[in-house]
Amino acid sequence: MPNQKQKIIIANWKMNPASFIEAENLLKTIKSGIKKSDNLKIVICPPAVYLPKMKPNSNFDLGIQNIFWEDKGAYTGEISAPIAKKLGANYAIIGHSERRIYLNETDEMVNKKIKAALKNNLKPILCIGETLEEKNQDKTSEIISSQLKSALKNISKFQVPSSKFYVAYEPIWAIGTGETPTSNEVMSAALLIRKIIAGLYDRQTADNLSILYGGSVTGKNALDFLDNAGMNGLLVGGASLNGSEFARIVNLI
């Protein structure tokens, strides 16, 4: 059953904090605040330049917030999957809506990045979700379906076993706004995601997939998504920049 899988809580620090000293302090607060739980994986995704100094331990692993799709070459400013691995990342957030919006990242680029991550043994956390306008036009299912199918184009089921691939449902209108979907809406999105995965691959792959929710997650609402909506994990932005709040979320599990 999907709900009984190991839960995963991912901190997406985005372009924060402003210095490594602050990042170190934040990490210290998180580390000292969390109680150990065997049924839990914590992944911190800091700005890439902080990765080599972050020293993961048995309590947490590291992820990168983005990668480029080629392994090397003349791509000024980009970070490849092999470089990300060498920096210490084991996970890669791919297709975050902020990159789709501010950097014009397309479904095609997302697909290439997922392939690059899988090839280099980085576990992709694929972000999908609709805008407020799309939600109001009842296009949520259409958007989820097209983003998911494009992202997985020409990727076989053997490349996306449950331990190596995650999908995060992040409605764009819920990111950083304090607005959240109801647990029923999140559950419907997750059901749809599993249905699409079952159609692309098979039922077992769909059942085994870990689906995360992201968008204005706090210590107050986290359990609603985990317990009531049955999510396998959370992708936390703003609240992960407050060490004790993030620890509070983690300690709910």
Please give the positions annotated as active site.
Answer: 96, 170
Q: Which CB atom, from 43 or from 54, has the smaller least distance to ligand 13P?
A: 43
Q: Does 176 bind ligand 13P (CB under 6 A)?
A: yes
170 binds ligand 13P (CB under 6 A): yes
Q: Which is nearer to ligand 13P, 122 or 175 (CB)?
A: 175
With CB under 6 A as the contact rule, the residue among 63, 129, 181, 214 that binds ligand 13P is 214
Residues contacting 202, CB < 8 A, separation 6+: 157
Q: Which is nearer to ligand 13P, 27 or 170 (CB)?
A: 170
Beta strands in the chain (DSSP E): 7-12, 40-45, 61-64, 91-94, 123-128, 166-169, 210-214, 233-236
Question: Residue 177 is inside which H or E element, if any?
Answer: none
Considering only residues 43 to 102 of the shown chain, the ones binding ligand 13P according to CB under 6 A are: 96
Shortest gap between Cβ of 72 and ligand 13P (angstroms)?
27
CA 249 to chain centre: 16
**Among positions 231, 238, 243, 245, the unique one binding ligand 13P when judged by CB under 6 A:** 238
Cα–Cα separations (whole angstroms), residue 228 to 128, 205, 221 = 21, 23, 10
* Joined tokens for residue 81: 């999957």
For 251, list phi and psi in degrees, rounded to 5: -70, -5
Nearest alpha-carbon partner for 61 in 32, 40, 33, 78: 40
Please give the DSSP secondary-structure letter assigned to residue 34.
P
Q: Is 175 in the site for ligand 13P (CB under 6 A)?
A: yes
Quick one: DSSP state of residue 6?
P
Q: Return d(Cα 202, Cα 77) in angstroms, integer.
A: 39
Q: Which residue is nearest to ligand 13P (CB)?
A: 237
Q: Minimum distance from CB of 102 to ligand 13P (Å)? A: 13
Stretch that binds ligand 13P, among 25-33, 36-44, 73-81, 168-176 (CB under 6 A): 168-176
Residue 154 Cβ vs ligand 13P, minimum distance, rounded to whole Å: 26
Count of residues of this chain found to bind ligand 13P when the rule CB under 6 A is applied: 14
Candidates 19-27, 81-89, 198-206, 234-242; binding stretch for ligand 13P (CB under 6 A): 234-242
What stretches of 129-181 adopt beta strand conformation (E)? Answer: 166-169
Q: How far is the CB of 176 from ligand 13P (least distance, A)?
A: 4
Q: Does 124 bind ligand 13P (CB under 6 A)?
A: no
Q: Which residues bind ligand 13P (CB under 6 A)?
A: 12, 96, 170, 175-176, 214-217, 235-239
